[in-house]
Amino acid sequence: MGSILIKNVFLNNGRTDIYIDNGIITKIGACPDDGADTVIEASGLGAIPGFVNMHTHAAMTLMRGVEEDLPLEAWLKKIWTLEENIDEETIYWGTRLACLEMIRSGTTAFNDLYWMPETAVRAVADSGMRSWSAYVCMDHGDMPKAALDRKGLERAFEDSSRWGRKTVFTVGCHSVYEVSEDMLVWCRDFAKANGLKLHIHLSETRTEVENCIRRHGLSPVKYLDSLGMLGPDTIAAHTLWLDAEDIRLLGENRVNVVHNINSNLKIASGYRFLYNELKDAGANVTLGTDGCASSNNLDMLEAMKTAALVQKAWREDPKAMPLKEVMDMATANGAKALGLNAGTIECGREADLLLVDMRCPAFVPDINFLSNLVYSAHSDVVDTVICGGDILMRGRVVEGEQEVLDAASEAGRKLLSKSGMKLI
Ligand SMILES: [Zn+2]
């Protein structure tokens, strides 16, 4: 890891140097050239924090484009057919492909909810990124399956003490409609007893809310609250269909909610994400892409732009979701949700940061850096990615990229053929 000196970089409206020592930002300001193991001349580059993708299913990169133009429930059926055939190879190379894509688009940390986390974290470690990786419980109310999930989760948690320094275990519950009440309560207790984050899909579709009310007499948010599952360690993906009481509960309990705009738009689950209401109530609002089977890419800059534009459009209010806030959602708020000492570029923080290339049309004229970044640029402006002091990409070159592309392509082909589907 050693030390890195970034010279003459654009940061907070001026040029400066950033010194990184053993993965931590130790100085921001003029630094002498001598002594650093790596010196990056960054006079055409701007520094921003690495993006934190707060909800994804990384290995689903291999299902990119497999089924399009279907509603959520029908789409899930197709995906679950494919998932019957996933194996370690699918998970490893699917996750490596996801990490490659995330690195190339500036993500340094992600919150993953997918099968075989012990295999996925090997891929994350081999990529140099950070992940919070869940063991996912999904018992469908089936008692033997619930027992298997409990055993599997306990075993995976035990193994997680041997995971790399950048991967953290979390408790995953698919959703209130796929997980029995007993299992939800067990997950709540396990997460609490071990100080773990709990990751769940919540109030994603109108159908989910209607069914939950029919089954339990409560909306999904109120149902989770009745089970004592809302709190600052809960990460709730989507939270799209909410009433005033749901918003109050998510806010009062300081829940971390994840807006996944591109997935919501594409599956047509809705678009009226109640950003102002959730933020004002006290929820920590973060941003994610969801998996590639629904959002097709893992591009956080694209998610930021879409989230801001859609929010302004449906509210008929150009002031909705301002630039600084959409940037915080993609960086600082995500880091806060995960308990990660990053998300801003400050001394004492983990060195999770990006250098973006300002020598391109999107940054000319240089009037408003953040506006150029979010509204004008695409993620190919990300030139250099540093995660915990490790340089994962420099000059848009990621080491071993071709091997990942070739192996992932082969793993995707095998998965489709085992599932009786054809590659076009
Ligand atoms: Zn999801």
- Give me ligand 1 centre to Cα 261, in Å: 11
pLDDT value for 217: 98
Name the nearest CA neighbour of 266 among 2, 4, 127, 67. Answer: 67
Q: How much is the pTM?
A: 0.97
Q: Could you give all domains of the chain from N- to C-terminal order, each with its CATH number? A: 3-49+351-397 (2.30.40.10), 51-338 (3.20.20.140)
- Give me ligand 1 centre to Cα 265, in Å: 13
- Give me ligand 1 centre to Cα 351, in Å: 28
Tell me if 302 sits within 8 A of 262, measured CB to CB. Answer: yes
3-state secondary structure of 153: helix
Distance CA(299)–CA(278), nearest Å, equals 24
Q: Is the pLDDT of residue 364 over 80?
A: yes
Mean pLDDT on 218-229: 98
Alpha-carbon dihedral angle through residues 378, 384, 385, 389, given to the nearest 10 degrees? -160
Q: pLDDT tier at 365 (50, 70, 90 boundaries)? A: very high
Mean pLDDT on 222-251: 98
Q: pLDDT tier at 19 (50, 70, 90 boundaries)? A: very high
Mean pLDDT on 36-56: 97
Mean pLDDT on 99-107: 98
φ, ψ (nearest 5 deg) of residue 180: -70, 160
In which residue are the tokens 């893992």 written? 298
pLDDT value for 423: 62
Mean pLDDT on 6-12: 97
- Give me ligand 1 centre to Cα 290, in Å: 5
Can you name the residues that pair with 10 across neighbouring β-strands? 15, 46
Helix, strand and coil content of the chain, in percent to the nearest 5, comes to: 45, 20, 35
Mean pLDDT on 292-302: 95
Query: How many helices and strands in the chain, by DSSP H and E?
Result: 16, 16
- Give me ligand 1 centre to Cα 406, in Å: 26
Q: pLDDT tier at 192 (50, 70, 90 boundaries)? A: very high
pLDDT one-digit tens code per residue, 252-269: 999 999 999 999 999 899
Q: Give me the percent of the chain exceeding a pLDDT of 70.
A: 99
Q: Is the pLDDT of residue 240 over 70?
A: yes
Task: Count CB-CB contacts under 10 A for residue 265.
Answer: 15
pLDDT value for 336: 98
Q: Is the pLDDT of residue 296 over 70?
A: yes
Q: pLDDT tier at 424 (50, 70, 90 boundaries)? A: low
Burial of 74 (0-12, 13-18, 19+ CB in 10 A): exposed
Using alpha carbons only, give the angle 417, 269, 210 rounded to the nearest 5 degrees. Answer: 110
Mean pLDDT on 184-189: 98
Burial of 324 (0-12, 13-18, 19+ CB in 10 A): exposed
Terminal Cα distance for the chain, rounded: 43
Tell me if 259 sits within 8 A of 329, measured CB to CB. Answer: yes
pLDDT one-digit tens code per residue, 373-422: 999 999 999 999 999 999 999 999 999 999 999 999 999 999 999 988 77
- Give me ligand 1 centre to Cα 294, in Å: 8
Mean pLDDT on 199-215: 97
pLDDT value for 419: 86
- Give me ligand 1 centre to Cα 70, in Å: 16
- Give me ligand 1 centre to Cα 125, in Å: 22
- Give me ligand 1 centre to Cα 55, in Å: 6
Task: Count CB-CB contacts under 10 A for residue 44.
Answer: 16
Mean pLDDT on 60-89: 87
